[in-house]
Amino acid sequence: MSHPGGACFVPVWRPLLAALLLWLLAGGAAAGAAPGETRIAELVTEAEASACTVNDALVAVLCRGIIRVGVRTDYARFAERRAAHEWVGFEVDLARGLAARLGVQLELVPVTPANRIAMLAERRVDAVIGTMGHTVARDSQVRFIRPHYYASRTVIVGDRRVATDGTGDLRGLTVCVTIGNADNARIAGEGARLLLFDNPAQMLDALRLEVCTLAMHDDALFSVHLADPAFAARFTTRMVVSTLPWGMATRQEDRLARVMDILSTRWHAEGYFLALANHHGIAEGPLREEQARWQDPACLGADGAPRLECLAPPAVLLLLPSAIAPGVEVLERWLLDWLGLRVSLPMLKSQIALEVFLRGIVISLLLVAGALVATLGLALGFGAALCARHALPRLVMRALTGLLQCSPLVLLLFFGYAAVSVILPYSTGVALLLAIVMIGLYNGSHAAAGIADAHAALPPDVPPELRFRLAVRGASVQIMSFLVNATKSTSIASMIGVPELLNALTDITSFTSERVLTYSFLLVFYASLVALVVWAGGRVQRRLPA
């Protein structure tokens, strides 16, 4: 049966099959009650006795008779939706096992890395089993089930021909990433250019089509593709960025979370996780080690729940809140309550995001100011050479400006970037200066051609000492239009790694997932800069002597 939002109910036989598998793995009924089973039964009984209005996910699930579990739809071997009713994968089977143990129907709800936490917070799902890394930062947003059910390494896979050994080599290289990856902030900080994708399938397509030479994701995804000889012939794992434990998650600390804690402990000890991983062809990772750990009675409490000292810690990818974060949250709430506007300002809420954002604004302003000065200076310099009395400087300058005018700006930037790399190590300052020079050269050569045209159009009786000044005056509209063009094209400098506002906001988006307001702000910022330059230019033009 289809369901609004793309979710679907799973046929009854599947939970029964999963329950049977569980039962077999547990050694059947003859083995007696497994550790924690009594506690689970107690929690379920308590929940059944509670009124359906109680704020407890287990109560809600039992009242509804359905557990809604958020899973991915596009993650090979972990969770894939092949047709409306055909879900397969390791995490899908975990969801089935959970529903079977609770004796309720299962509703699988598609989630993405960008919305899975919001789906829990908005009570659109009861639990998420969706390749979610357990980080310290996320501990404040959801309740992670422990022990973790898997652990992946975040790796960078890339073209075999591109030499990269450590994250220090990423500067200036394009890395395809999925939005919401907690490691995006780390590699953005190393100077990588991030190309964002909504899901891993799109990201892998981009890697195959050479949209990027490197792609970052967890090794669980890449291991499937690296097993394909054709893929492995072109790509290899270039570096390990971090290790990340994966956890199931619920909205809050309640009975459902406690039941799932005990189930997760049992499933490790009984080898259910391991058996499922092998069944789906997933690398075992730390599962065998975890099985040994949870088979040890010393790691279990009296009620079968895991002891804290045996639990693997979450990854420390903490986005510390900024000093103004509380104020920003108040503003967001006020906008929602009073104006009904759901506004999210992630660029102001964490220290790293605020730092990147403010630096982006400062660098954008420097870039625009520098590009304007360079364009005007080079226009006058080139213009003077194009209007020179001697033929040699005129010819040389005509060839140079011809080359510059007819080269796409993006190409000029990359040419300059490659040429400068021969003599200077990359730094933000070098990239900024280079961008200013290249934008100035491109627009200055166009404006200089305008000056030369105006010079050629002057009557022959104009005295030589006045000719250049009059030519500049005559070409003032052209000069102005290329000053505006220089302002408009400054954001292209992001392509060579200048951390201006576009680059900064792309980096922020990659780990905060908010895009609409972020990019709207970017558009308004740059359009305002252009409007300011047009206004200032107009004033200057009006004051020029006739």
Partner 1 sequence: MIEVLPDFLPRFFAGLAVNVEIAMLSLLVGLAAGLPLAVMLCAGPLAAGPAAAVVGLLRAAPTFVVMFFLLNAVPREYAATLGFLGDWSMTAVILSQAVYAVSYVADNGQVALRALRARDGATAVLFLPNLARAFCVLLMSSGVAAAVGTPEAIFTTIREAERMPALADRVALFLLVMLFFAVTMQAAFALINRLRFRLARALAPRG
Contacting positions for partner 1 (CB under 8 A):
159, 161-163, 173, 195-196, 198, 206, 209-213, 402-403, 405-412, 414-415, 418-419, 421-422, 484, 487-492, 494-495, 502, 506, 509, 515-516, 518-520, 522-523, 526-527, 530-531, 534
Is the Cβ of residue 36 or residue 497 nearer to partner 1 in the bound state?
A: 497
Number of Cβ within 10 Å of residue 1's Cβ equals: 9
Least Cβ distance, residue 413 to partner 1 (angstroms): 10
Q: How far apart, in whole angstroms, are the C-alpha atoms of residue 292 and residue 312?
A: 14
Residue 151, beta-bridge partner list: 245
Is the Cβ of residue 213 or residue 351 nearer to partner 1 in the bound state?
A: 213
Is the Cβ of residue 250 or residue 364 nearer to partner 1 in the bound state?
A: 364
Is the Cβ of residue 20 or residue 516 nearer to partner 1 in the bound state?
A: 516
Instruction: Name the burial class of residue 61, with classes exposed (0-12), middle (13-18) and buried (19+) by CB atoms within 10 angstroms of its CB.
Output: buried
Least Cβ distance, residue 370 to partner 1 (angstroms): 16
Q: How far apart, in whole angstroms, are the C-alpha atoms of residue 337 and residue 243?
A: 40
Least Cβ distance, residue 224 to partner 1 (angstroms): 23
Residue found under tokens 């206004």: 535
Is the Cβ of residue 75 or residue 417 nearer to partner 1 in the bound state?
A: 417
Q: How far apart, in whole angstroms, are the C-alpha atoms of residue 342 and residue 121?
A: 15
| DSSP letter string, 185-240 | HHHHHTTPEEEEESSHHHHHHHHHTTS-SEEEEEHHHHHHHHTSHHHHHHEEEEEE
Quick check: helix, strand or coil at residue 182? Answer: coil
Is the Cβ of residue 2 or residue 520 nearer to partner 1 in the bound state?
A: 520
Closest CA to 305 of 277, 271, 268: 268
Q: With contact defined as beta carbons under 8 Å apart, do 246 and 156 qualify? A: no
Is the Cβ of residue 92 or residue 449 nearer to partner 1 in the bound state?
A: 449
Q: With contact defined as beta carbons under 8 Å apart, do 268 and 291 qualify? A: yes
Least Cβ distance, residue 336 to partner 1 (angstroms): 19
Q: How far apart, in whole angstroms, are the C-alpha atoms of residue 465 and residue 33?
A: 103
Closest CA to 249 of 91, 44, 359: 91
Sheet with 174-178, side-by-side order of all strands: 193-197, 174-178, 214-218, 150-159, 235-246
Is the Cβ of residue 231 or residue 525 nearer to partner 1 in the bound state?
A: 525
Is the Cβ of residue 105 or residue 344 nearer to partner 1 in the bound state?
A: 344
Element (H, E) at 485: helix 476-489
Phi-psi region at 210: left, alpha or beta (left = phi > 0; alpha = psi -120 to 50): left
Least Cβ distance, residue 434 to partner 1 (angstroms): 13
Least Cβ distance, residue 445 to partner 1 (angstroms): 11
Is the Cβ of residue 22 or residue 522 nearer to partner 1 in the bound state?
A: 522
**Phi, then psi, of 309 in degrees rounded to 5:** -70, -15
Quick check: helix, strand or coil at residue 105? Answer: strand
Is the Cβ of residue 105 or residue 407 nearer to partner 1 in the bound state?
A: 407
Least Cβ distance, residue 509 to partner 1 (angstroms): 7
**Could you tell me the two tokens for 215?**
């792609």
Is the Cβ of residue 330 or residue 395 nearer to partner 1 in the bound state?
A: 395
Least Cβ distance, residue 487 to partner 1 (angstroms): 8
Least Cβ distance, residue 358 to partner 1 (angstroms): 19
Least Cβ distance, residue 47 to partner 1 (angstroms): 37
Residue found under tokens 């609409």: 516
Q: How far apart, in whole angstroms, are the C-alpha atoms of residue 58 and residue 48?
A: 9
Q: What angle do CA 224, 230, 233 make, to 5 degrees?
A: 100
Q: How far apart, in whole angstroms, are the C-alpha atoms of residue 144 and residue 140?
A: 10
Least Cβ distance, residue 527 to partner 1 (angstroms): 5
Least Cβ distance, residue 534 to partner 1 (angstroms): 7
Is the Cβ of residue 103 or residue 408 nearer to partner 1 in the bound state?
A: 408
Least Cβ distance, residue 508 to partner 1 (angstroms): 12
Query: How far apart, in Å, are the Cα atoms of 233 and each of 160, 176, 210?
Result: 8, 19, 14
